Amino acid sequence: MNLSKPVSKIDGTTRVLGLIGNPVAHTLSPEIHNTLASLCGRNLVYVPFPVEQGALDRAVQGAYALHVLGLNVTVPYKRDVLLCLKEIDPLAETVESVNTLVSVPGGYRGYNTDMSGLFRAMTEDGVALQDEEVILLGAGGVGRAVAYLCAMKGAACVFLLNRSEEKAKAVAREVNAKIGRECVLGLSLEAYRTLPAKKYLAIQATSVGMFPRLDEAVIEDPAFYRLLHTGYDLIYRPGQTKFMRQCEQAGARAFNGLKMLVYQGVEAFELWNDTTVTKEQAQEINRMLSQRF
């Protein structure tokens, strides 16, 4: 049996799930959710819906009118979709980023399973945030959300390094104000040279290392990697980035973002279906996707 296809025949009781964003042709989400439907015996089908700029509100309203059970949201709409929702989960409201919509009376409730999925993946990999000193690379949308996650999960401090120091400082001020403690420090990318000589957890939240920049890392200096005990790259394709290779060459553990991708999908599926996906089922999804890279 090909687990990437729904087990049940599409009929009058089939519920629809989907992904809205632009572009969406590259997405792996249909494989994740149609496989989960097969594994869990659910009569569901998941498809991507490209949404042009300016059509987001109409797309969300139309999906609700058509009784679409739930949606994932990808770039560039994770922040804009906040204005289209009936309800917002507190975590999503705090980080101002939504990637999962769940049908409720009158519309959709927005959640952020990217960050809860990342935390679940890191926990399974034995990577802690509580009391940890973290070097976070990148202050874009993903880096900003990860800064919130680190602060909310009790990181002792987060050194937020970014090409634009001004942007890093702005994100740090925002996170510290919302969380209520001064734990995020915005710095330039080169400021790693000034950090105390100890061992850190580094989270790589930029797009450097993805196609077409496969042979690049956001920091190239081997001295940086000697500061790390663990490197966590949120990129999942390719399966091993230059950042990860340099971590391993310096004796640090290295992880990619595939398990985060799996668990953000798992948590969305659980919300849509009011169910629990087993660890074994999640591992099946991980094995299936890891064969792709």
Q: Which residues are catalytic?
A: 78
Q: Which residue has the tokens 């940890």?
A: 132
Q: How far apart are CA 262 and CA 259, in angstroms?
A: 5
Counting beta carbons within 10 angstroms of the beta carbon of residue 128, is it exposed (0 to 12), middle (13 to 18) or buried (19 or more)? middle
Please, what's the largest Cα pairwise distance for the chain? Answer: 63
In eight-state DSSP terms, residue 9 is P
The radius of gyration of the chain from alpha carbons, rounded to an integer in Å, stands at: 19
Helix (H) or strand (E) holding 89, with range, is none
* Contacts for 275 with CB less than 8 Å, ≥ 6 apart: 40, 269
Contact between residue 218 and residue 204 where contact means Cβ atoms under 8 Å apart: yes
Helix (H) or strand (E) holding 272, with range, is helix 258-273
What are the DSSP calls for 180-228, one per residue?
Answer: TS--EEEEEGGGGGGS-SS-EEEEE-SSBTBTT-TT--S---HHHHTTE
* Contacts for 280 with CB less than 8 Å, ≥ 6 apart: none
